[in-house]
Amino acid sequence: MAKNKGARIIITLRCTNCKKTANTNGKADINYSQGVVAKKIDYTTTKNRRNTPDRLELKKFCPNCNSHTQQKEIK
């Protein structure tokens, strides 16, 4: 007999300040005018959907911003 899915789901967190996104092929974004390579940095974690039904927001380190920033849950 198969078990049910459970309450824990995997979510992705992304920086709210820089909002860096990768191209559709998953490679890094390159800004040739400044010579900067900005990679897409996302954190993955799990949350209990029964205890926290709204979107999760944590403070994590963002290497693109080089500081601790708010990371929000994305779909």
Q: Could you report the average pLDDT of every consecutive run of 10 residues in the chain (75 residues)?
A: 79 85 49 60 91 93 91 90
pLDDT of residue 12: 94
Per-residue confidence (pLDDT) for residue 50, from 0 to 100? 92
b/e burial code for range 4-37 (CB count within 10 A of at least 16 → b): eeeeeeebebbbeeeebeeeeeeeeeeeeeeeee
Global pTM? 0.66
What is the reported pLDDT for 65?
Answer: 87
**DSSP SS3 for 43:** strand
pLDDT of residue 21: 47
Provide the pLDDT for residue 40: 76
- Give SS3 for 2: coil
Domains of the chain: 8-73 (2.20.28.120)
